[in-house]
Structure 1
């Protein structure tokens, strides 16, 4: 049976963030995730998860200017100091919140001639993060993102993720596999998950191409969820979509 988590950065946004934990619990979720939790103190988030009886299973490391069109932090050689500061902040949150995993967003490379240098920097920073979070028993994952939504994103294919994972060969490093992003790149998410479930630390989903809930796009979620269940993957599957209609109206997939 699959274990679903609600991404509170995209779901239940009809309410302030502090109210979304209880809303997720009422909707039937036992776990939540947040893209960037840093607007609230870690202790306050811990209070909210405890009160709602939900587990916070994942959040992202700080990503600098990535969400506003910049390159982010993880792969930019000139921003290694900022990346280390982000690791320190995320460690503070992880000590309090005890997530299953933290996600590193590789970011964009807007200078094609420097792509190799950016990949080297990303590898070094992924090692740094994986080492740091291993001390807390928290897994480090990294994610490929499609280049329609984020042009220039450095890691945007399943094979790229596998190659980087193999190169780094770190026991505390795994993939965050986003069904939506890889489907947008023309890949076969069900086949990838079936073949590489043991290398995946977290899964997220939305329908494609519009990033709405299951049933709003072209993907066969009955087949996808069956493939995840059959793959041996035992982690959480994060609902990270933009609801068409209210969040509650978008949850038909959760009831099966």
Structure 2
């Protein structure tokens, strides 16, 4: 099995710049991160420190989020946030430069919550424009933009695969940008009540990325009741060829102990 470790939700006891080496020491060759900086446009020395940590660890950066605002405070992206489009677009330039340096190809653009007092249609229209802008930018380095249904936030409007796919279709129809892809996080989809097997059957070959966690609890596989191994096999059979992102909250000291009975961890 081909895995990539999300080192923003895992290994959190370590500073961010020590996590790539810890991923390598655990036997993996690939890592992904949420946006690892506190601002949309960090200082160059911060970017260099992050990139150097990945390079020196000898792991590949397979995925990176765009800046999503104050995540601990409840923000879930700037893509649809009217009034912050300049900030989002400035961040796109930084993301592209990091991707070009480290070879990353997949970039997750969290859509953003509904903003009280702002017309939802205006938010969706802006989101389509911003996603097209980001898609065109990352296409220059052979990348894709990922769009993800998310659970746990009532204000986040993309709950199902169909919600995200409708926006993705608008981006292509209205702007001719075809490299915005669904991020199929099986945990989020399942918790939101989506029909995960149907999503896999209908769209696996079009997935931009897959992430997993078990439910309930968002722990590692085996801590809940989701048939994750089956769903991964079905996605592979349906044409998904990318890595599987491990984006769960560890429930024991060794966050990868569940893998001892499976195949190679290498991505």
Q: Same fold by TM-score, threshold 0.5 exceeded?
A: yes
* Cα offset, 1:67, TM superposition: 4.0
Deviation readout 1:123-144 (Å, 9 max, x if unpaired)? 1100010011111222111111
Say whether the 8 Å CA contact 1:204–1:239 is kept in structure 2.
yes
Detail structure 1 runs of 4+ shifted over 6 Å in the superposition.
none
Between 1:118-127 and 1:193-202, the stretch displaced more is 193-202
Matched, 1:93 2:92: no
| Equivalent residue, structure 2, for 1:158 | 161
Within-5 A mapping of 1:68-217: 68-70=73-75, 72-111=77-116, 114-146=119-151, 149-169=152-172, 170-217=177-224
Hey, what's the Cα distance between the residues in 1 that align with 2:9 and 2:76?
22
Return 5+ residue gaps in structure 1 as ranges: none
Say whether the 8 Å CA contact 1:33–1:58 is kept in structure 2.
yes
* Cα offset, 1:250, TM superposition: 4.0
Hey, what's the Cα distance between the residues in 2 that align with 1:47 and 1:70?
28
* Cα offset, 1:200, TM superposition: 1.1
Hey, what's the Cα distance between the residues in 2 that align with 1:189 and 1:181?
10
Hey, what's the Cα distance between the residues in 1 that align with 2:57 and 2:250?
22
Kindly tell me: are residues 120 and 232 of structure 1, through their superposed partners in 2, closer, same or farther at Cα, counting changes over 3 Å? same
| Counterpart secondary structure, 2:249 | coil
Kindly tell me: are residues 65 and 231 of structure 1, through their superposed partners in 2, closer, same or farther at Cα, counting changes over 3 Å? same
Between 1:151-160 and 1:68-77, the stretch displaced more is 68-77
| Counterpart secondary structure, 2:222 | coil
| Equivalent residue, structure 1, for 2:34 | 35
Say whether the 8 Å CA contact 1:108–1:153 is kept in structure 2.
yes
Kindly tell me: are residues 163 and 93 of structure 1, through their superposed partners in 2, closer, same or farther at Cα, counting changes over 3 Å? same
Return 5+ residue gaps in structure 2 as ranges: 39-44, 263-267
The Cα RMSD (Å) is 2.0
* Cα offset, 1:186, TM superposition: 1.0
Hey, what's the Cα distance between the residues in 2 that align with 1:167 and 1:121?
12
Deviation readout 1:108-157 (Å, 9 max, x if unpaired)? 003387221111111110001001111122211111101xx112102111
Hey, what's the Cα distance between the residues in 2 that align with 1:244 and 1:37?
23
| Equivalent residue, structure 2, for 1:228 | 235
Between 1:127-136 and 1:188-197, the stretch displaced more is 188-197
Between 1:221-230 and 1:107-116, the stretch displaced more is 107-116
Q: 1:54 aligns with which of 54, 59, 68?
A: 59
* Cα offset, 1:47, TM superposition: 2.6
Say whether the 8 Å CA contact 2:99–2:105 is kept in structure 1.
no
Aligned length: 252
Deviation readout 1:180-222 (Å, 9 max, x if unpaired)? 1111011232331232022211111111121110111120122
| Equivalent residue, structure 1, for 2:249 | 242
| Counterpart secondary structure, 1:82 | helix
